[in-house]
């Protein structure tokens, strides 16, 4: 470390409290966001977060602090945390420091850029609104995503956020001429390893980059991994002029890491124990995800909702940045309706006649109306039975239950669990199927024939192989 000679700026560790480290510098005080290194071969990395006085800074460790002690020498690297960018990062897996963690050859053909960058100015942003097709029926019909927009997958633990995210990668990388960047913030290392292996087997790795800050890593590392991934995404958008699909799993863990850092730094907590700077920190990340004249960063983010409470400040703040909110329902997951997307709670600002067209808009509204009427009738059915409904209401129930089953879909990424071959359905086929169900074309077709199929025509031959039962069985929901 001392080979840099007189220009090197060295300090001394004053105190270590968990991940918080105070360092004293006699010559020159490092600026905020500077990276400091200590320990053997500079293995302990500290980021400066505040200047305590004329000689002392307080930082958060981005690595474990085992072995760090008072009086140890610390070197100021003279710059912020940096991420590698360039053609050489494709098909690779990185940690927050830009180190490769895929056991492949050393990095070549890269340059290093600061992870702290400003969002593109409003004058450079594109004002066009375009639809981003996913091949998943319920999303494309009811919650269309925006090219260059931000979409959120909201749900509690175990309702299928990561599965839906990996399915979107699979569907989009095939027919999406761009780069996909997967950013794992505070998630299980098992999921990262499985995703890497699946993408390699599917042959789509050459157009992917993966960045991980795992859940066992210190909060500083989890907090900065999103910024590192965004720096790579901005390179592909601004330098290579390509469209980028940025998948973040999970944005709540970013807020959680910020909350841990805030508590460690001694800041007074805000509502429900969250950091007082949560809104600013989240906006600093989200505003960099933008659609410019040279390319677009389209982001799909999983958002863990604590205890399924959508009034939680983390969920509320995340909602405000999104153009589409896809809400996953534990109740629908329990009924086997996968993907378990709640069509009545999910919404998209793209679902307007001016963007999706009058036919698509009208169909989506009719589907929502039918499902909402069915939801209102469920209590009457549970208490009095289906026979007590008027013929008109019975028709509504029949349509709604068939729509619910048609909007399920077998995924490529779950074939090993379900044994069903994955299906990719175009928006045209999805709209056509919903329209035919609403026109009662499948009234005599058993509901089960519409479950876990791709296009509506599959229901025809599937129904021939099944015995015809009561066209509308009594719903089992309470």
User: Tokens 């999406």 belong to which residue?
Assistant: 176
39-76 residue pLDDT tens: 988 899 999 999 999 999 999 999 999 999 999 999 99
**Stretch 307-321: mean pLDDT, rounded?**
92
**Stretch 311-340: mean pLDDT, rounded?**
94
* Environment class of 466 (CB within 10 Å of its CB; exposed 0-12, middle 13-18, buried 19+): exposed
* Average per-residue pLDDT for the chain: 91
pLDDT at 475 over 50: no
pLDDT at 391 over 90: yes
Which of 39-48, 104-113, 156-165 comes out lowest in average pLDDT? 156-165
**Distance, C-alpha 397 to centroid of its chain:** 34
183-228 residue pLDDT tens: 999 988 888 888 888 888 877 788 899 999 999 999 999 999 999 9
**What pLDDT sits at residue 254?**
97
pLDDT at 372 over 80: yes
225-266 residue pLDDT tens: 999 999 999 999 999 999 899 999 999 999 999 999 999 999
pLDDT at 291 over 80: yes
**What pLDDT sits at residue 467?**
59
Q: What value does the CA radius of gyration of the chain take, rounded to a whole number of Å?
A: 26
Q: What residues are annotated to the active site?
A: 161, 187-188
**What pLDDT sits at residue 389?**
92
% of the chain with per-residue pLDDT over 70: 95
**What pLDDT sits at residue 176?**
64
Residue pair 142/351 in contact by the 8 Å Cβ criterion = yes
- Helix, strand and coil percent figures for the chain, each rounded to 5: 40, 20, 40
Conformation bin of residue 361: beta by default, left when phi > 0, alpha when psi is -120 to 50: alpha
Tokens representing residue 284 in the block: 């600093």
**What pLDDT sits at residue 174?**
63
408-442 residue pLDDT tens: 999 988 888 889 999 999 999 999 999 999 999 99
**What pLDDT sits at residue 1?**
43
Which of 21-25, 137-141, 174-178, 229-233 comes out lowest in average pLDDT? 174-178
**What pLDDT sits at residue 468?**
54
Rounded Cα distance, 295 and 242, in Å? 5
Confidence of residue 6 (pLDDT cuts 50, 70, 90): very low
Alpha-carbon separation of residue 140 from 143, 144, 324, 356, 380 (angstroms):
6, 5, 11, 10, 32
pLDDT at 315 over 60: yes
Rounded Cα distance, 156 and 45, in Å? 33
* Strands in 321-457 per DSSP E: 324-327, 347-348
Alpha-carbon separation of residue 278 from 47, 110, 212, 249, 330 (angstroms):
19, 33, 22, 18, 27
**Stretch 376-396: mean pLDDT, rounded?**
92
**What pLDDT sits at residue 414?**
87
């Amino acid at each position: 470390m001392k080979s840099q000679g007189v220009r090197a700026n060295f300090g001394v560790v004053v105190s270590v409290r968990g991940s918080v480290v105070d360092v004293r510098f006699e010559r020159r005080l490092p600026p905020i966001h500077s990276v400091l290194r200590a320990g053997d071969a500079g293995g302990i990395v500290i980021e400066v977060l505040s200047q305590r006085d004329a000689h002392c800074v307080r930082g958060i460790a981005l690595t474990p602090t085992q072995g760090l002690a008072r009086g140890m020498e610390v070197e100021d690297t003279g710059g912020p945390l940096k991420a590698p960018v360039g053609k050489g990062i494709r098909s690779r897996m990185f940690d927050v420091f830009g180190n490769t963690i895929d056991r492949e050859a050393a990095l070549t053909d890269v340059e290093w850029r600061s992870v702290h960058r400003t969002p593109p100015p409003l004058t450079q942003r594109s004002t066009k609104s375009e639809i981003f097709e996913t091949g998943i029926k319920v999303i494309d019909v009811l919650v269309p995503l925006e090219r260059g927009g931000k979409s959120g997958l909201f749900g509690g633990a175990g309702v299928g956020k990561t599965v839906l995210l990996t399915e979107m990668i699979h569907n989009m990388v095939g027919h999406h001429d761009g780069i996909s960047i997967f950013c794992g913030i505070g998630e299980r290392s098992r999921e990262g390893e499985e995703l890497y292996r699946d993408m390699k087997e599917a042959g789509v790795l050459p157009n992917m980059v993966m960045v991980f800050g795992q859940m066992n890593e210190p909060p500083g590392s989890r907090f900065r991994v999103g910024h590192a991934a965004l720096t790579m995404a901005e390179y592909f958008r601004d330098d290579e002029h390509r469209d980028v699909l940025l998948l973040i799993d999970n944005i709540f863990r970013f807020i959680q890491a910020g909350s841990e850092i805030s508590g460690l730094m001694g800041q007074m907590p805000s509502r429900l124990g969250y950091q007082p700077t949560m809104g600013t920190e989240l906006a600093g990340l989200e505003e960099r995800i933008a659609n410019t004249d040279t390319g677009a960063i389209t982001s799909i983010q999983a958002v863990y909702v604590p205890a399924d409470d959508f009034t939680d400040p983390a969920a509320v703040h995340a909602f405000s940045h999104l153009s589409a909110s896809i809400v996953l329902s534990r109740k629908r997951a329990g009924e086997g309706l996968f993907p378990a997307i709640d069509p009545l709670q999910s919404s998209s600002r793209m679902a307007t006649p001016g963007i999706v067209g009058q036919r698509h808009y009208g169909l989506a509204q009719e589907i929502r109306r039918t499902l909402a009427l069915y939801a209102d009738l469920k209590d009457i059915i549970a208490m009095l039975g289906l026979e007590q409904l008027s013929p008109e209401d019975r028709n509504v129930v029949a349509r709604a239950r068939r729509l619910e089953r048609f909007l399920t879909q077998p995924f490529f990424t779950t074939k090993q669990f379900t044994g069903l071959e994955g299906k990719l359905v175009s928006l045209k086929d999805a709209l056509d199927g919903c329209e035919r169900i609403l026109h009662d074309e499948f009234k005599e077709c058993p509901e089960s024939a519409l479950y876990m199929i791709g296009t509506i025509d599959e229901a025809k031959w599937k129904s021939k192989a099944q015995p015809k039962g009561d066209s509308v069985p009594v719903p089992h929901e309470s």
